[in-house]
């Protein structure tokens, strides 16, 4: 049984825990270590590894603390160089790796960072997709769990006068919108999906209840909104 826990999500910080009941993995560590400890019920010793999608601080601010605790961290070469990391706990992931009972397969995403990646995690019959901070996700089929960025609604963003045009353009070029999420989910086989988690919602440019209802209606699957970090 796969369990997904959101410790933090959104532009203020991201951190998620997944477990198959045997091996627990963190995805992202973008909040202070004290908040990660608290979110995990002070059971950080149960974490086998931490996966990092890219070098922006809301995804990896606690990485040096995580490494000091003896937890292996996996990322792309570009992310490693951008963070200026070294040591035997820092692993560059290019192809499939095994972490306990998980098989972890990285894939390239598109974001305004050095070398962003997403992850396909496989344990037994379960296949979990994790993709955030991107405008492109490869098509994966036979998924059982989907964790996908749903950052903004194009109409809300368009009408938001508090955001300068340059920032709006950056959001459009660096993040997945509700429209893109719909298109992506409609393009893949969802018959085995047990749950969809909408992650990294913008505080200003999204509407969580509308997003949840929209994705439930088009997929017929349970949909969960990752709560924001505050």
- The per-residue pLDDT for 229 is 79
How much of the chain, in percent, has pLDDT values that exceed 90?
Answer: 96
Nearest-5° Cα angle at 96, 30 to 69: 40
Band the pLDDT of 114: cuts 50, 70, 90: very high
How much of the chain, in percent, has pLDDT values that exceed 70?
Answer: 100
Judge residue 102's burial from the number of C-beta atoms within 10 Å of its C-beta, 0-12 exposed, 13-18 middle, 19 or more buried: buried
Band the pLDDT of 121: cuts 50, 70, 90: very high
Q: Collect all residues with Cβ–Cβ distance below 8 Å to 54 and sequence separation of at least 6.
A: 60, 75, 76, 79, 82, 111, 113, 114, 115, 116, 117, 133
d(CA 97, CA 92): 10
Band the pLDDT of 6: cuts 50, 70, 90: very high
- The per-residue pLDDT for 45 is 92
| Secondary structure element (H or E) that encloses residue 57, with its range | helix 57-60
- The per-residue pLDDT for 228 is 83
- How many residues are there in the chain? 230
| Secondary structure element (H or E) that encloses residue 56, with its range | none
Residue 87 CA neighbour count, 13 Å, CB half: 16
CB 175 within 8 A of CB 134: yes
For residue range 137-158, what is the model confidence (pLDDT) as tens digits? 999 989 999 999 999 999 999 9
pTM: 0.97
Beta bridge partners of 83: none
Domain spans of the chain? 3-225
- The per-residue pLDDT for 145 is 98
For residue range 156-205, what is the model confidence (pLDDT) as tens digits? 999 998 999 999 999 999 999 999 999 999 999 999 999 999 999 999 99
- The per-residue pLDDT for 46 is 95
When the pLDDT of each residue in the chain is averaged and rounded to a whole number, the result is 96
Question: What class does CATH assign to 3-225?
Answer: alpha beta
User: In what order do the strands lie in the sheet containing 126-131?
Assistant: 97-99, 102-108, 117-123, 126-131, 145-149, 195-199, 223-225
Secondary structure E strands in the chain: 3-8, 15-19, 24-27, 47-51, 72-75, 90-92, 97-99, 102-108, 117-123, 126-131, 145-149, 195-199, 223-225
For residue range 58-76, what is the model confidence (pLDDT) as tens digits? 999 999 999 999 999 999 9
Q: Are strands 24-27 and 117-123 parallel, antiparallel or unpaired?
A: unpaired
């Amino acid at each position: 049984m796969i369990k997904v826990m959101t410790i933090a999500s959104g532009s203020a910080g991201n951190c998620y825990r997944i477990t198959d009941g045997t091996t627990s993995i963190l995805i992202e560590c973008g909040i202070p270590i004290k908040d990660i400890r608290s979110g995990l019920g002070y059971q950080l010793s149960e974490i086998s590894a931490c996966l990092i999608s890219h070098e922006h601080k809301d995804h990896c601010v606690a990485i040096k603390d995580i490494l000091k605790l003896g937890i292996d961290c996996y990322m792309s070469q570009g992310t490693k160089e951008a963070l200026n990391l070294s040591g035997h706990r820092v692993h560059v992931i290019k192809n499939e790796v095994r972490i306990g009972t998980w098989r972890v397969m990285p894939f390239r995403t598109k974001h305004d960072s050095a070398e962003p990646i997403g992850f396909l995690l496989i344990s037994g019959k379960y296949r979990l997709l994790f993709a955030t901070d991107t405008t492109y996700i490869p098509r994966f089929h036979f998924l059982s769990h989907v964790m996908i960025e749903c950052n903004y609604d194009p109409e809300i963003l368009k009408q938001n006068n508090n955001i300068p045009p340059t920032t709006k353009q950056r959001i459009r070029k660096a993040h997945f919108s509700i429209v893109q999420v719909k298109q992506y989910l409609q393009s893949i086989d969802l018959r085995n999906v047990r749950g969809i988690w909408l992650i990294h919602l913008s505080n200003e440019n999204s509407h969580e209840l509308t997003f949840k209802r929209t994705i439930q209606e088009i997929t017929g699957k349970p949909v969960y909104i990752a709560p924001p970090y505050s």
